[in-house]
Amino acid sequence: MSYDKIEVPEGGAKVSYDEAADELDVPDTPIIPIIHGDGIGKDVGPIAQDVLSAAAEATGHDIEWMEVYAGESAREMYDENLPEETVEAIREHRVAIKGPLTTPVGAGFRSLNVALRQTLDLYANVRPTYYLDGVPSPMKAPEEMDMVTFRENTEDVYAGIEWEAGTDEAEQVRSFVEDEMDFDDVMHDGDIGIGLKPISEKGSKRLVREAIDYAIENDRDTVTLVHKGNIMKFTEGQFGDWGMEVAEEEYPDDEVFAAPDSLWEEQDEVDIPEDAVMVEERLADAMLQWMQLRTDEFDVLAMPNLNGDYLSDAAGAQIGGLGIAPGANFGAGRCLAEPVHGSAPKRAGQDKANPTALILSGRLLFEYIGWDDASTLVRDAVEDTIESGTVTYDLARQRDDAEEVSSTTYAEAVIDRIEDLA
């Protein structure tokens, strides 16, 4: 496909996908689209790109980066926030990485990030949360955190079906609920805003399936389905029911064990097959405390969209904050890696922001395309650099033994460490 404003590198080739085999075909030199992002994205995007290129080269790989545009950069070039050719470039090339984006008020999208996920059907937001030596943390034992959250990406309240209080549409919905469904006891007097919360069998099952497959492939012991099904029985509750159906019906008993409700209600002893992944359910409110009190008991969490937003951020706080928290969005043969943090416009252009989250998000992209050697090298180099005390301002202000450096200098130190370790 030809593009209007996107320059396609002459070297390299597209990543392709064999749907029948569910396998990527990764060329020797893949073309990878990158959105540097808004705010601090303009600072951390290019230098994270340099770090990832260095890790790829050090492990015998090569990348041709293709810059594509969304947010502020797109408004300057296209006079719109999310150009169609940006979406098509990511769709066509299968794997991509982006920095943080800011959605202007009244711009037509609730969130550019959400728009990309929904448009490309990137249904699983995946966030590994693990501790790096040298990162200040409020927890006594942050090293116990080694958890991966799978957050459903396309449904729940983020589907954006809601009506503003005082509008004709809101009154029509209220009238229907009151008159046709006899639910007047839940409708308060006066103006109310109303929202719908769609959660589907298809969306729930494919998310849980992705989480279970990840657990099997990465030797994880448990997958925990997190929801508030005791209150929202036909949305969150059904997410749990559908997820347990996947565990019970789609995998051999010696590979996946679906834990009965009595496991936690009555503390029953159960016979779990050796090496099987146990799939269990927990309520979302309780899970927020169990993540802190029994951190090391959880491996992979799978949950609806809003719960996943809360819980993944809470997990990130335990290992030092969102400035070091990576993420990626998975679909059928697609990956869009992105950091968890926002665009922090007040820090833009100062060469101060921490690029670690974006760098580690690139590590997830490497894993997705099978470059495990480059992925491991990125993590080791980042951890060694932080542990040595060469850090950006956000970490330096919490350590007495650290040297505060610019974003650029920090990235250069990581690249030096990559070269030392390779």
Catalytic residues: 158, 228, 285, 309
**Residues sharing a CB contact under 8 Å with residue 331, sequence separation 6 or more, in sequence order:** 120, 121, 122, 123, 124
Question: Do 178 and 184 meet the contact criterion of CB atoms below 8 Å apart?
Answer: yes
- The response to whether 111 counts as a known ligand-binding position is yes
Question: Do 340 and 313 meet the contact criterion of CB atoms below 8 Å apart?
Answer: yes
Question: Which of these, 115, 132, 155, lies nearest to 35 by C-alpha position?
Answer: 115
- The response to whether 153 counts as a known ligand-binding position is no
- The response to whether 117 counts as a known ligand-binding position is yes
**Residues sharing a CB contact under 8 Å with residue 71, sequence separation 6 or more, in sequence order:** 35, 37, 38, 41, 81, 101, 102, 103, 112
Residue with tokens 């993420």, as numbered in its chain? 327
Helix axes 407-421, 372-388, angle to 10 degrees: 120
- The response to whether 29 counts as a known ligand-binding position is no
- The response to whether 102 counts as a known ligand-binding position is yes
- The response to whether 329 counts as a known ligand-binding position is no
Question: Do 361 and 113 meet the contact criterion of CB atoms below 8 Å apart?
Answer: no
- The response to whether 127 counts as a known ligand-binding position is yes
- The response to whether 113 counts as a known ligand-binding position is yes
Residue stretches of the annotated binding site for D-threo-isocitrate: 111, 113, 117, 127, 151
- The binding site comprises 102, 111, 113, 117, 127, 151, 309, 354, 393, 397
Binding residues for NADP(+): 102, 354, 393, 397
Write out the binding residues for Mg(2+).
Answer: 309
